[in-house]
Amino acid sequence: MGSQTYPLRRKSGIGCLTRLVLIFVLVGEVMWGALWVFTPWAFYMGGGFHWIPQWQGWGRLHSNSAGGDYAIYIYIYPKTGRGYGMTHVAGTGLLCTPRGERFNLIVGGDFEKHLGHDTNGKTASFYIYNRTLVSRIVGNDPRPSLELRGKWNNPDLVLDDHGSVARAFDHTANLYPTHASRPYMGEVSPVTLHEGTKSDFEAACAAVKSR
């Protein structure tokens, strides 16, 4: 009898893809569950429940010393791990100046400890600095470097800039030179961040530039 050959069976790529998808879903559920256990407040920032633990908001700030009106936007989410507490956040932001300049920002911050599920009335502080390509490569020019401090008044964050806008910008809304001498505490400007999107910020930025 002659040898008989059989066609090779092709392995199904769909099975591998399905397994990968299931693995990603499982990992995502584990991470979501860990956040729910250790940072439950992150799902309730601003008072409403969010399936994804994040918050974004925008606001307008006025500084006579720094040349007028500014628009600011932040996007934050919980960040835990070595060196961080259980109420630490990280994120990104945008700043629009009276001159029409825009800055991409890195955001970090902390909320009052032992938040539970309710952020209302709890303190909040943020440090915010420039994240241009040059600043990330060289690492020595974080201007503008800003601070925001205050508390949650759901659904808003009611803050002030601790004089940081007037430290960063001069009366013409230009950035001060890196080593310029200026007082640490000058004009303190209030700012309320309303829960909203980048589109809301863009509208506020356009209004700032048109003044």
Tens digits of residue pLDDT in 103-135: 999 999 999 988 888 899 999 999 999 876 555
Q: Is residue 165 part of a domain?
A: yes
pTM of the shown model = 0.80
Give residues with Cβ within 8 angstroms of 163, minimum separation 6.
Answer: 184, 185, 186, 187, 188, 189
CA distances from 9 to 14, 17, 67 (A): 14, 18, 73
Task: Sort strands 88-96 and 102-111 into parallel, antiparallel or unpaired.
Answer: antiparallel
Q: Is residue 16 part of a domain?
A: no
> 109 is in which domain, residue-wise?
42-210
Q: Is residue 7 part of a domain?
A: no
- Give the CA count within 13 Å in the CB-facing half-sphere of 154: 13
CA distances from 80 to 31, 36, 43, 84, 125 (A): 12, 12, 15, 5, 16
Whose structure tokens read 């974080």?
Answer: 142
When divided into structural domains, the chain yields a total of 1
Q: Is residue 79 part of a domain?
A: yes
**Both tokens of residue 67?**
């040349």
Residue 115 has a pLDDT of 81
Q: Is residue 68 part of a domain?
A: yes
Residue 16 has a pLDDT of 73
User: Rounded to 5 degrees, what are φ and ψ at 164?
Assistant: -75, -30
Closest by CA to 66, choosing from 86, 90, 92, 95, is: 95
Mean per-residue pLDDT for 40-55?
Answer: 89
**Amino acid identity at 165:** V
What is the spatial distance between Cα 112 and Cα 98, in angstroms, rounded to a whole number? 33
Local confidence band at 42 (pLDDT 50, 70, 90 cut-offs): confident
Q: Is residue 201 part of a domain?
A: yes
Q: Is residue 163 part of a domain?
A: yes
**Both tokens of residue 210?**
């048109």
Residue 124 has a pLDDT of 95
Q: Is residue 169 part of a domain?
A: yes
Give residues with Cβ within 8 angstroms of 198, minimum separation 6.
Answer: 56, 58, 73, 94
